[in-house]
Structure 1
Amino acid sequence: MAVGIGVALLVGAVVLVSLPDSPEVGTVPRTPPEPGLAARVHDFATALRENAPYRPPGDAQREALTGALAQLGRGASGADAASEVTETREALTPLGFSVDVGVDTRTGRSYAVVASEPNAERGWGLYVVDLSAPTRYAIQVPHPANDLGTDALGVELFRRLPGAVLSVSGTHRRVANGAGDVAHREDSMFSAVAEAHSRAKVPQVQLHGFDDASFPSADVVLSPGATDSLWPASAIADGVDGTGSSGNSREKTDGPELDVCRAWERACGDLEGRRNVQGIAAAREGAPFAHIEVNRTTRDDPERWGELVRVIENTLRER
């Protein structure tokens, strides 16, 4: 489906705010992302500050957003899609969200962006919904201001997976003495969206980052979080390093070699995400979930993280 120029004009008056991140120690300036969706998400992520005000949403506000995103994720076309965007704008503007649509220059697919104002008290996140197909995949970036580069991985996955929804936290994780750490807060808007995806059994991948020195024996840590099912975490791990958990050889591309720690086989430096609340919700609902930690060296190298993204894409598409 192509929502196209008509929908873009319909909501073209909506202004998307974008601004920059509390960097990790030793940050090397990154190449600015290409204009468009990647820049929009990057600017939002790098704007977030740890001293911003914050208050969590109420139940009615959580329901308003999840309902609106579900409506956008139906994959409607033409006039129906335009009407849904208009209804979404009317419902969410009073909550401090802007709503905009665009066409991704890389894929040609239409998308909607629902975003709170960076560093506003209602810092409830940025959500990108593919308008070209019904929702099939959920990509989560819970610490965009802290785990540098995870926003870029999230956008690339969104582009590779038609029917994806990309959720980006609207807070620095240290906001309000940790109240903004959405990976460990059930009262966040980010969690409300993830819970809705879990109820719908939508596969979820959650992207995190860690410093090389904190766990030098691995480039990537794969975990199912609190869920019992190893898919998709196990399949992603096997695709990244080319070996199954039994050590059997698997087909491997000529991409960069990445060392993987499988959290269901051994301890992975307390990077397993067992207390992650989105993973707990997925376990409760029986939804697929993968908690993915990526070291700094990999996040700084597009060739390395591109290999990881390729494997995640193939894993989710093959189900």
Structure 2
Amino acid sequence: MIYQALAGAALGLGLFLLVRAVFPGRPGAAATVAQIDALRSRGQYMAASVPDGQGERGSRLRAAIGPRVAEFYARMGWQQRSLRADLAILDRGWEGFLATKVLLSVSGLLFGPLIASGLWLTGLSRSLLVPVWLSLACMALFFFLPDLEIRNNAQEKRKDFRRVVGAYLDLVAMNLAGGRGLPEALMAAAELSDGWALRRIRDALTDARLTGVSQWVALGRLGDRLNVDELKDLSAALGLVADDGAKVRQSLAARAETMRHREMAEIEGQAGAQSQSMLVAQLLLCAAFLIFLTFPAVMRVLQW
């Protein structure tokens, strides 16, 4: 009965996917707009040159898989905004990331039978369902592993970006105190370093100057794209007091001080958590040493 149920489920799933592929549902407005954006970005991606050579077969395969998976996501209306923001702050492409997820999931399908064969040779399991479930589990695990890696790396890089934003606000306030206007102060402060964070801010300000958008609006858009709340709050504050230089300077200095206090509180919290973990490790080590000393005596008393 189990094999019949699995066969019926697989047949039903195949028929469902076939019907959805032949007669796709009508997408909504959000899915249509997302599909147009995906096709536009796909055109830009395909316009880029793909390196040649035998060592670049993996890049060619990813370039072939990525746009199709991105188009499928757009057709289904899966926007994944937080994940896109993490990829944006890491300066990684959306289509290449999707291709990596698909290739890893395929490798997970191949990894499951290897584990099942090892269990078969050792005699731990003789069931034919074990390779199927192991393959599905490995496929799901390998498909979501890149998400965890991206989120952890983006979290660390976003902390660095917030630290740079705090220093950037101090530099802007110093330029305003020197008599410069707000647009000149924002650009001058961003040109003092070639770090990746200030380079992102400088590129956003340059694009705003070319497109005719106010610079604080460009900073807000950059904050939306990178999911950095400090830039979005800065954009809103500058939009309110952009005409008054004294208020802008005071607001920037206050925000920079607030960000420094928040960063110090986070550092103190991390230090406290690490000290607590070290204390727990020391207590466990002492307990193990006491057990090691008292074990012979306890065993001798029990033998009597």
Whether these two folds match at TM > 0.5 is: no
Query: Which has the greater radius of gyration?
Result: 2
Higher normalized helix content (fraction of residues):
2
User: TM-score band (shorter)?
Assistant: under 0.3
Higher normalized strand content (fraction of residues):
1
